[in-house]
Amino acid sequence: MTEAQMAYVDCSPLMRSLLDEIGSPGDMKVYEGDPSPSELAVLIADAAVVLNGHTKMDDALLARAPLLRSIVFLGTGAASYVDLAAADRRGIRVRTIRGYGDRTVAEHAFALLLAAARNIAAMDRNMRAGQWAVSEGIELRGRTLGLIGLGGVGSEMARIGASFGMHVIAWNRSGIPAGVPARSVALEELLGASDAVSLHLALVPETNGLLDGLRLALLKPGVVLVNTARGALIDEAALIAALRSGAIGHAALDVFSSEPLPADHPLTMLPNVTLTAHAGWKSRQASDRLLRMALDLATDDASKIVAGQSLST
């Protein structure tokens, strides 16, 4: 093969501007926006390497891309968009990107915690509606922050929490990484002792529904629960029930079991919930790192394809 065609199938305006700054491989096709099914099929028909930000790629679509050997997914949640089993059957490598947004996501998680602790979203809504209602807040210094998961994001969250004077405890399946200011505890102890709990786990079969009704019942009364990881980590029905009863003081959520969150979803009706639109990862700095890492992976795979080398998985 003399060249390996690359295609970026769903380039956003932000990524387009970053791509112009960084410089893209000269032969890479770039589709700005979200392609229709027919446009997508044309885009990948002769592609060997595809960059995919959020586009569904099922077995039927992959069957229309006979030259495709590598999909570089811009993020970690490829399984939500790409039929991984079908890709494997067809000899297509699916690559994901980690670490690019650790600090950005952690800052968003802590921003949600601050917003919940001071009831900022509710006061904003009230003032826009002409109501001057002063909410009582929580001072975070001296409070206990419980982190479930201490990967890159969780570790950054621990550092931010410690810098605010919070006592940071954590449950992590592989222990506490060196240099992270957190004390290791059992999950049940964390749930009962924390004034605020923040989730930073990958969604795998073992963590799906990790915070079910029984575990949510262990939470300290009035706790603030933050989730910027994956919606399915929490039993949504049990969470809504606990919020309605007041057992959970406030939930600050960036991720949901179903996205986009429907406008009439019960979570949108509760006053003790702060919502953001799965935006924790989105900063220009994180996006720049993400795009550079994706281009490195894509060009590396393209070079190997041209050289006739196998793509290790």
How far is the CA of 168 from the CAs of 114, 152, 180, 254, 280, in angstroms? Answer: 16, 16, 10, 21, 21
Q: Which of 11, 48, 51 is nearest to 33 (CA)?
A: 11
Task: Give catalytic status of residue 230 as yes or no.
Answer: yes
Which domains does the chain possess? 6-100+284-306 (3.40.50.720), 102-275 (3.40.50.720)
What is the structure's pLDDT at 310?
Answer: 86
Exactly one of 259, 265, 289, 292 is catalytic; name it: 259
What is the structure's pLDDT at 204?
Answer: 87
What is the structure's pLDDT at 80?
Answer: 84
Letter for the amino acid at 44?
I
| CA-based end-to-end distance of the chain | 21
Contacts of 72 (CB under 8 A, 6+ apart): 49, 50, 51, 52, 95, 97, 294, 297, 298, 301
**Residue 66 Rama label (left phi>0; alpha psi -120 to 50; beta):** alpha
Spans of the chain below 70 pLDDT: 1-2, 313
How far is the C-alpha of 239 from the C-alpha of 269, rounded, in Å? Answer: 13
Contact, 7 vs 51, CB < 8 A? yes
Judged on CB neighbours under 10 Å (0-12, 13-18, 19+), 250 is buried
H helix runs in 145-283, sequence order = 152-163, 187-193, 213-216, 236-245, 266-269
Exactly one of 16, 90, 265, 278 is catalytic; name it: 278
Task: Give catalytic status of residue 200 as yes or no.
Answer: no
Contacts of 85 (CB under 8 A, 6+ apart): none
How far is the C-alpha of 37 from the C-alpha of 62, rounded, in Å? Answer: 12
C-beta pairs of 204-209 under 8 Å, 24+ apart in sequence = 207/233, 208/232, 208/233, 209/233, 209/234, 209/235
What is the structure's pLDDT at 196?
Answer: 98
Task: Give catalytic status of residue 173 as yes or no.
Answer: no
What is the structure's pLDDT at 2?
Answer: 59
Exactly one of 230, 250, 284, 292 is catalytic; name it: 230
String of DSSP letters for 71-109: EEESSS-GGGTB-HHHHHHTT-EEE---STTHHHHHHHH
